[in-house]
């Protein structure tokens, strides 16, 4: 049975498109049942049919909790197996996270725990890093602090700028998200008590995406 995915977005939706392409090409056994945004003009919403789109302006709500509750109700209404933050730029509150605990994933453009938050490419260059990358992690209320499931490293090259580094990382970021969601959709991934499990084994360190865009077939 295809797993039902709800996807949260804020921007152009390239990670969403990577999931859509993988589903269309039968590389990912899943179905996107709703795309949710905090921005009505997010280009990502245009990547799916109108009945799958939901958006609301957080400024129209009296509190952050009020917006999160409305979003959570909308997400729950599509009965997702997994909720994937794919370029969603708001921090999710504790009540939202609790409602979807253990089935809430995020992709972040750094090798966590390095560089939580914004401007990760520039920060990696400023620090003189020789390696950069992307991470998929379980979501907790603290920003980009959940257990990391998998990562895709790339080298930092001489003369890199934040723009060139971001552009070179993006295809690997897409492949990483598809591979990690594939683990979830196939029933291989779980979280219990803040511990990630893969193939029923504790995940003691992040899986690393190989050059073909695959994660290890047997988790350590």
**The pLDDT value given to residue 115:** 98
φ, ψ of residue 9 to 5 degrees: the values are -140, 160
Average confidence (pLDDT) per 10 residues, the chain, 220 residues: 95 98 98 98 98 98 96 98 97 96 97 97 98 98 95 98 98 98 96 92 94 79
**The pLDDT value given to residue 161:** 98
Q: From the centroid of its chain, how far is CA 20? A: 14
Token pair listed for 57: 């302006």
Is the distance from CB of 119 to CB of 108 less than 8 angstroms? no
- What residues form the annotated binding site? 13-15, 64, 89-92, 106
Every domain of the chain and the residues it spans: 3-208
Token pair listed for 77: 């209404």
**The pLDDT value given to residue 216:** 84
**The pLDDT value given to residue 55:** 98
The fold adopted by the segment(s) 3-208 is: Rossmann fold (3.40.50)
d(CA 109, CA 21): 20
Is the distance from CB of 40 to CB of 55 less than 8 angstroms? yes
Residue with tokens 């795309």: 35
**The pLDDT value given to residue 1:** 77
Is the distance from CB of 86 to CB of 177 less than 8 angstroms? yes
- What residues form the annotated binding site for (6R)-10-formyltetrahydrofolate? 64, 89-92, 106
Cα torsion through 193, 5, 153, 13, rounded to 10: -140
Q: Active-site residue numbers?
A: 108
């Amino acid at each position: 049975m295809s797993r039902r995915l709800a996807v949260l977005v804020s921007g152009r939706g390239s990670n969403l498109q990577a999931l859509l392409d993988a589903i269309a090409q039968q590389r990912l056994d899943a179905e996107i049942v709703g795309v949710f945004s905090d921005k009505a003009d997010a280009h990502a919403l245009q990547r799916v049919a109108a009945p799958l789109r939901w958006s609301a302006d957080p400024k129209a709500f009296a509190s952050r909790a009020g917006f999160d509750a409305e979003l959570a109700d909308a997400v729950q209404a599509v009965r997702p197996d997994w909720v994937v933050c794919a370029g969603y730029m708001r921090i999710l509150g504790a009540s939202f996270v609790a409602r979807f605990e253990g089935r809430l994933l995020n992709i972040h453009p750094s090798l966590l725990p390095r560089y939580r938050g914004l401007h990760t490419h520039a920060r990696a260059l400023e620090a003189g890093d020789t390696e950069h990358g992307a991470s998929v992690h379980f979501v907790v209320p603290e920003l980009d602090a959940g257990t990391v499931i998998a990562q895709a490293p790339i080298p930092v090259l001489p003369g890199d700028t934040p723009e060139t580094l971001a552009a070179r990382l993006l295809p690997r970021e897409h492949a990483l998200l598809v591979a990690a969601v594939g683990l979830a959709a196939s029933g291989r991934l779980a979280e219990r008590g803040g511990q990630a499990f893969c193939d029923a084994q504790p995940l003691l360190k992040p899986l690393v995406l190989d050059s073909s865009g695959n994660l290890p077939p047997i988790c350590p």
